Amino acid sequence: MSIPKSITFSKDVVESSQGNGSFEPLPVGNYDATIFSIKAGEFGAPKEGKGDNSGKPYWNVQYRIEDGQYANRRLFQMVGLFTHWAPKPGQTEAPVNFNLPQFLKAVGVDVEAGEVEIPDPEKLGGYPVTLKVKVSKFNESQNEVASVHPRGAVASTAKVTPAKPKTVGGKTVL
């Protein structure tokens, strides 16, 4: 296969590529989503003022919004695969990692005191959940997943709006 060194774009191709995807944050609310993918990783060196969770495992979970005006948008959440975060400098008590049991309950795992088996992340693709979404307190142009719930446990606030027609190459499409 040969990779071209240049490509000529027509005006209609350039115009059709503008505004196809919005990266504005989603409005605060609950959204029905599915787990699109999960990638395993390990936390790196801590940022200043944070606890040292270096080497602890996590899942980087990618969710896909299912319905409404924001259908197919993606949101991400890092779920630490441990029960407590490392204390911040100057603190002695380790904060509870509430994301892990919350995520596990959302995907149907019975979380009780004692040992709980972690599911195979490859089997969770497509699993339906409801996300509570907020705007990041660190960056107002980004969202955060505030919590994950089993589908139907909380009502979705996403509004289904009809697609707006647009003109591409002289044709009106949805």
pLDDT tens string 3-55 = 778 788 787 767 655 544 557 889 999 999 999 999 999 998 877 767 788 88
pLDDT score of 15? 64
Does residue 46 contact residue 54 with C-beta atoms inside 8 Å? Answer: yes
Contacts of 63 (CB under 8 A, 6+ apart): 33, 34, 35, 36, 74, 75, 76, 77, 129, 131, 145
Q: How many residues does the chain have?
A: 174
Element housing 41 (H / E)? strand 29-42
Q: Alpha-carbon dihedral of residues 137, 139, 140, 141, nearest 10 degrees? A: -150
pLDDT in tens, 81-95: 999 888 888 888 888
